[in-house]
A and B are shown apart, each in its own frame.
Chain A
Amino acid sequence: SAVISQKPSRDICQRGTSLTIQCQVDSQVTMMFWYRQQPGQSLTLIATANQGSEATYESGFVIDKFPISRPNLTFSTLTVSNMSPEDSSIYLCSVAEGGSNQPQHFGDGTRLSIL
C-alpha cells in the first residue's frame, strides 16, 4: 500500500494565523482526502482533493477557510486559515487507489493547537 508522509506532525499556532499541512504519497493515487478528528471523536471529511481542479468540500466546510491544493497525483496541501481555538484538532490526509469506494490509507496526522 501507499506510504503517506504528512507534515508537520504537530504545531501550536496563534489565533488569526494560518497553517499549511502537506501530504506526500510515494506513488500516484487517484483519490486524496482531508479529514478532521477531534480528540476522542470520529473522523469528519473536510474535502476531497481533486488533481487539476478545485476540491470538493463537504457541508460545513468552505474553501476560504480550508483552501486545498493538489498540483499532481502524489501531493496535496490543506491550509487552515484565520485559525481560532475551535480549529484545534487532528487533521489527517488519506489516499485511495482506484476510487472513493476503495480502502483508504492514512497519514500520521497533524495535531494542531490554537492559542
Chain B
Amino acid sequence: GQQVMQIPQYQHVQEGEDFTTYCNSSTTLSNIQWYKQRPGGHPVFLIQLVKSGEVKKQKRLTFQFGEAKKNSSLHITATQTTDVGTYFCLHHNFGNEKLTFGTGTRLTIIP
C-alpha cells in the first residue's frame, strides 16, 4: 500500500535555529496537508498544498510542494519553544479516496 515517509523522525534544535521536515511518497500525491500535534494534544491543521511547486508561508513557517508532487517540506525559521511538537503530513489520494498520515517528525527545542 501507499506509504508516506517523513524525515527526520526526531529533531532537536537550539532555540533560534531553523528546522525542516520532509514528507516523501512512493506515488504522486493529489494534495498535502500539514498538521501540528503538541505533546498530549490533538493534531491541528496548518496548511493545504494542491499545486505542483506550490509555496505557502505562515509567519515563520514555509510549506512547499514538490514539482513532481511526490514530496513536500515544512521549514520553520528561527524556532521558538512554542514550536515544540510533532509535525505530520497528510495525503489524500483522489483516485481511491485514501487518507494517509505521514510517520511524523518530533521537534524538541533546547532553550
Contact = CB atoms under 8 A, between A and B. Distances in A.
Interface string A50-69: 00000000110000000000
Interface string B34-46: 0100000111110
Contact of A109 (B42, B88, B104): B42
Contact of B92 (A41, A59, A101): A101
A42 B92 contact: no
B101 interface: yes
B102 A42 contact: yes
Interface string B93-111: 0100111111110100000
Secondary structure at the A interface, as helix, strand, loop or mixed, is loop
Nearest to B42: A106
Interface of B: 1, 30-31, 33, 35, 41-45, 48, 88, 90, 92, 94, 97-104, 106
10 contacts: A42-B88, A45-B99, A58-B98, A59-B1, A101-B92, A101-B94, A104-B35, A104-B45, A104-B90, A108-B41
